[in-house]
Amino acid sequence: MHVIRVMSLITFLLSSTCAMSDKSPVQHRGTLKHLRTKIDSGSEVHVAFLGGSITQNSKGHTAMVPEWFRQEFPKARFKFTNAGMSSTCSTSGAFRLKDHIWSQGAPDLLIVEFAVNDDQDAAHARRECIRGMEGIVRQTLSLNPNAGIVMVHFVNPGMLEMTLKGKTPTSISAHESVANHYQITSVNVALEVAQATQQGRYGWKEYGGTHPKKFGYRAASDLIIKAIQAGLASDNATTTELPPLVDPQSYHSAGFVSVKNATTGKGWKRGRATRELIPHGSIRRDYLPYPLLRGEGPNESAKLEFTGRTVGAFILAGPDAGVVESRIDHGKWVEQDLFHRFSEKLNYPRSVIFHSNLTPGVHTLELRVLDSNRENSKGSAINILHFEVNQ
């Protein structure tokens, strides 16, 4: 029996290795004809990056890919937008896409990554991974049917371990389903690192970790450039007709709604995301410019009238994050715990969906913070940077 078990394990490992080695980290789909035409025309070309802290790093692929563009096309005029924001997931990405990228002009190429943050920060189930990523993709193609998109899947230790076993992490599998549905080229950095590990080219230490070293960013950037080159060289037929939604509840018509639109009772404060308003935990400078609505329980409710089928909020969940109750149109109150496992010392940015699958039309959201704070929390508060509405 022992010999049989060992042989079975060896067979499994060999089959996993063979299956993985047969796959390419770059899945070329569609074409980048419009990008090629735009580059050749002499018009300004807008290349935008959307993601979490891996994207926010100004010395990573968001520097290396633009450097390649400038060297490869010295006569072209490029504009680059880095909309990376630490800790944010694809849900946040879908809701902030218009404010953080489209406000800078329609992108001709969007390079998007959220596999790591959907996995480790948000801990999304497959459904939420799809709803966020499809929201980003469909909004982009709806607003600019000619836009090119390259989807990138970075990697953390848990995702690498799964990939080495021949399995696909949930976030990558979900995002790939969106990429395949919309015929978008994807770059699987997790698969590249796993193959490099098994082939002895380099390992996790050389790559640099969840936030890669320069070597790791170089490896990822080379794959992204390879994907772009293939798209530019492709003469595949294109269509501007969008396929049916993968998930009808995807955040495909999503955006921020200002906290200024809310009406509030006593106990709610307005200001900026500074120490004057938020007494506990560190505050990242990214959020200092934003208007903030802070509720401290118990108090009267805050109300927001909106038009849409999904409503939530982009919040800073700090050490005093509490439990909030919400209801739609005077319906049943629903509780939601805002405290995140990373909230102990940091006012952690996260998207919280209060209600979804609503009937289309105008609704009223009510929020109130409960007086009972959870274990480990120092208070009962909610810090709202933006409301999030999907129409």
pLDDT in tens, 150-167: 999 999 999 999 999 999
Domain final residue pick, 184, 200, 233: 233
- How many C-beta neighbours within 10 Å does residue 360 have? 9
For the domain that residue 197 is a member of, what is the CATH number? 3.40.50.1110
Mean pLDDT of 5-19: 46
Predicted confidence band of residue 20 (pLDDT cuts 50, 70, 90) = low
Tell me the pLDDT tens digit for each residue of 62-77: 999 999 999 999 999 9
Do 383 and 316 meet the contact criterion of CB atoms below 8 Å apart?
yes
Asked whether residue 305 falls in the same domain as residue 220, the answer is no
Domain containing 358 equals 254-390
Radius of gyration of the chain (CA): 22
Indicate the pTM of the whole model. Answer: 0.93
Asked whether residue 91 falls in the same domain as residue 52, the answer is yes
Count: domains in the chain: 2
- How many C-beta neighbours within 10 Å does residue 108 have? 24
Predicted confidence band of residue 17 (pLDDT cuts 50, 70, 90) = low
Using the predicted structure, report yes or no on whether residue 318 has a pLDDT greater than 90. yes
Q: Say what the pLDDT of residue 12 is.
A: 46
Asked whether residue 295 falls in the same domain as residue 196, the answer is no
Tell me the pLDDT tens digit for each residue of 264-292: 988 899 999 999 999 999 999 999 989 99
Asked whether residue 290 falls in the same domain as residue 213, the answer is no
In a domain, 247, yes or no: no
Q: Say what the pLDDT of residue 135 is.
A: 98
Q: Phi and psi for 93 in degrees, rounded to 5?
A: -60, -40
Mean pLDDT of the chain: 93
Mean pLDDT of 46-61: 98
In a domain, 101, yes or no: yes
- State the amino acid at position 306 in one-letter form: F
In a domain, 3, yes or no: no
Asked whether residue 161 falls in the same domain as residue 288, the answer is no
Mean pLDDT of 98-115: 97
Asked whether residue 207 falls in the same domain as residue 354, the answer is no
Distance CA 32, CA 185 (A): 10
Mean pLDDT of 254-273: 96
Asked whether residue 215 falls in the same domain as residue 264, the answer is no
For the domain that residue 386 is a member of, what is the CATH number? 2.60.120.260
Mean pLDDT of 246-270: 96
Using the predicted structure, report yes or no on whether residue 300 has a pLDDT greater than 80. yes
